[in-house]
Amino acid sequence: MQTITAVYPLLPFTSAAITALVGFYAYRRRAVNAAAIHLAGMMLPVTIWTACIGLQRLSQTPAVFLFWVDVSFTAIAFIPVTALFFTLALTGYDAWLTLPRRAALLSIPLLTTLFIWSNEAHGWFLQQQEVDWVNGVLDHTQWVGGFWYHVYAGYSTALLLAIIALTAVTARRAPQPFRGQAAAVLIWSGLTFLIVIPLSLLGQGGSRLLPLLPAVNALIFAWATFRFRLLDLAPIARAALVESAHDGMLALDDKGRIVDANPAWQALTGLARPDIMGRALADLPPPWAELAHAVAQPGFQQEITIEQPSARRYLHLQSAALQGHNGRASGHLLLLHDLTPLKLMETLEQRVAARTRDLTILYNVASLISRAPPLPTTLADCLAAILEATPGASGAIVLGDAAALEVVAQRDAHNLAADPAFQPLWQHIAAGENGFLTHNLAADPRITPWLTAPPPYPTLIAAPIRAQAEPTSRGALLLFGHTAPRFNVEDLGLLLAVGEQIGIALDNDYLRRQAETAVITAERHRLARDLHDSVTQLLYTQMLFADATQKQLHAGRADVAAAHLERLSATAGQALREMRLLIYQLRPLELAQANLYMAVQRRLEMVEQRAGLETHLEGEWPDNWPTAVEETLYRLIEEALNNALKHAAATAVTVTLCQSNGRLELEIRDDGRGFDPAASQPGLGLTHLQERAAQLGGHLEIISKPGMGTAVKASLPQSSIANRKS
């Protein structure tokens, strides 16, 4: 006992130094293993607790002794919960540690800390404690725990039992080296649970041996770190490597060492999982040693061959980078797929190349169709693209209906596409669905009935072309080739897909022609309607005035005839203005070539000024508005000018645009006959004006009096225009 007393002051500080070194090393390894930061967090309160035991023995007054006792209890309060955090991270269950659960687990230690430092006020943690000199050092002579002390003791015991259960299950199920890692944690938790309590019951001698426990546990973690690479190999959950998967999966850490493998890998490679765990890939037999460096390259994939006692196995190996919790590379996942059955047909590289070719051709054809050039150009380009990617030496596209098919695109006019004798065959292909493939035109019984001379090419592959929008339309895509290289079934599949794309091009062309016809018809109807509503009626009115004038002249009423001639002149002028307006409306929108100011100015010059009106364009006209805003403003101005030209009998018109108090104020004013807005029913033109103002978030006002002209005012918020611009 005296020997223990003599060396005792060194034990706590020695233990504190060991635990601090383990915690510091774990903190340095936090980028490699997510569990390392939790181990460092656990070692911190352990170090504080052990150091406080030594400081208690060095205390010279009861007050200082009791202070270090409180610090020691505070550190002890956090050891079980930080140990649980570390265990969950080590065994791969750290996802369970959500923020609310962390807060719940830490609530008891935090309350314990509060009760420790406020114990004098309530005595909940310690009911009674007495300190006196024992064998030359201060120590407790009497110590009685309060009710919260027993609450915390039960909580800590429950956490230790949970740690023991979790590590025991992991140690039983996990492969090496993770089994050794879990066993180390199990030993630590077992020592803590099975030794602390018995030592606490031995009195002074037992309590003096307690500082040895952190040192022993720290040495256990140090041994596990170097023996089982506790902070080096990141554990991988077994659920991530699907045990029933047919493809092999192998996980490597950032140093190229094997940390896990599934049963399929063992079956495909013949390498037993217990024999390769923890070893570097470079240490395995060929071909793995040669691939150790290559698998670390981005996008690595390669076909390998493994000789096994039963047979040769062809495998496709692919590597994918793994990232740790901090976003840094933490290793690689190797995927192994068995290609042996596919090798009976062709290599994987050939299949990938053929698939890439098909996708490229389909993409190019779709791009040609989407650009919507003239249909003959589209068909010629599609034919050139398919000939470039297949063994075809010549080709043609025939289109038509059930009566006849004509060549619309071809490469090499000496093929059989234009031969009238082959029309039945082309019609048969166009009406079918499965296409046509032959490697011997001269001997194929499906061809020989139409052959009158040796064919220029020995092979033929063809696919139907169907147009959905025009059911009567049909066609065929024909490719002719030499004996070698030969067309195959994949070429036929590609040709069928291209035929469908060409069918889409035919649909687009048909719908475009239909749309153009509809637009032209609608425009003709609009012109006919406008001519009837305006110019035709004005011309008819002129005829009436001319006839009335002639009758008045015969009757000798020159003054009445003069009045009719004046009305006739006014009507003719109005008809001329209406005709100029219709002609101007047939022109493309001026905004396509100029800004809003220039477009309005051009309109005034082309219509109003030529109709004899005096025009004025005033105010501030910004030139950086969005096209949609300018078009809406232009249509609003145009509608107002049209109304003035048709109905106002004005001699002058003024268009003004200015900015005031965050709003745009637009005004179109004329000096015409005017009208009473209250007594007039709003027509279609006024409705259009109100709708266009509302599109820009503004409102419209009509100011007019009989004989005083008319002003159309639109007030528009600049914020609405700015939003459209953004």
Ordered DSSP codes for 408-420:
EEEE-TTSSTT-G
> Stretch 682-698: mean pLDDT, rounded?
74
CB atoms inside a 10 Å sphere around CB 418: 15
Which tens digit of pLDDT belongs to each residue from 93-123?
777 888 899 899 999 999 999 998 998 888 8
- Binned at pLDDT 50, 70 and 90, residue 234 comes out as very low
Q: What pLDDT score was predicted for residue 380?
A: 87
Terminus-to-terminus CA distance in the chain, angstroms?
86
Return the higher-pLDDT residue of 209 and 114.
Answer: 114
For residue 26, the Cα-to-chain-centroid distance in whole angstroms is 38
- CB-CB contact of 80 with 108 (8 Å): no
CB burial of 396-417 (b: ≥16 within 10 Å; e: otherwise) equals bbbbbeeeebebbbbbeeebbb
What is the tens place of the pLDDT at every residue in 614-657?
999 998 887 777 777 888 888 888 888 888 877 888 889 999 99
Q: Is the pLDDT of residue 196 over 90?
A: no
pLDDT band at 214 (very low <50, low <70, confident <90, very high): low
pLDDT digits (tens, 9 = 90+) for 243-297: 667 788 888 887 888 887 888 888 888 888 778 888 888 888 888 888 888 888 8
Taking the mean position of all CA atoms in its chain, how far away is CA 414?
A: 51
Cα separation, 692 vs 634, whole angstroms: 10
667: confidence class by pLDDT, cuts 50, 70, 90:
very high
Asked if the model's pLDDT at residue 197 lies above 60, the reply is no
More confident call, 271 vs 236: 271
Most confident of 459-468, 512-521, 641-650: 459-468
Instruction: Give the predicted TM-score (pTM) of the model.
Output: 0.38
Which of 32-46, 476-490, 526-540 shows the lowest per-residue confidence on average (mean pLDDT)?
526-540
Query: How much is the pLDDT for 236?
Result: 38
Residue 349's pLDDT is: 62
Q: Which uninterrupted H or E stretch holds 406?
A: strand 405-411
| Rounded Cα distance, 519 and 469, in Å | 19
Looking at per-residue confidence, does 723 or 440 come out higher? Answer: 440
Q: Which tops the pLDDT comparison, 705 or 330? A: 705
> In the prediction, which pLDDT does 237 show?
38
pLDDT of 235: 44
Sheet holding 405-411, edge to edge: 405-411, 392-400, 474-481, 459-466, 436-438
Q: Give the list of residues 6+ apart from residue 91 with CB closer than 8 angstroms, or none.
A: 166, 167, 170, 182, 235
- pLDDT at position 269: 86
The predicted structure's pLDDT at residue 655: 94
Q: What are phi and psi of 438, to 5 degrees?
A: -145, 145
Q: What is the pLDDT of residue 240?
A: 40
pLDDT value of residue 187 = 65
* pLDDT for 614: 92
The per-residue pLDDT for 668 is 93
Say which amino acid occupies 375.
L
**pLDDT of the residue at 684:** 53
Please report, rounded to a whole number, the percentage of residues in the chain having pLDDT higher than 70: 77
| pLDDT score of 90 | 72
pLDDT above 90 (res 219): no
Is a pLDDT exceeding 80 seen at residue 205?
no
166 Cβ contact partners less than 8 Å away, ≥ 6 residues apart: 87, 88, 91, 93
Other beta carbons less than 10 A from residue 618's beta carbon: 11
In whole numbers, what is the pLDDT of the chain averaged over residues?
78
Mean pLDDT on 690-716: 87
Higher-confidence residue of 424 and 204: namely: 424
Confidence of residue 333 (pLDDT cuts 50, 70, 90): confident
Give the three-state DSSP class for 704. Answer: strand
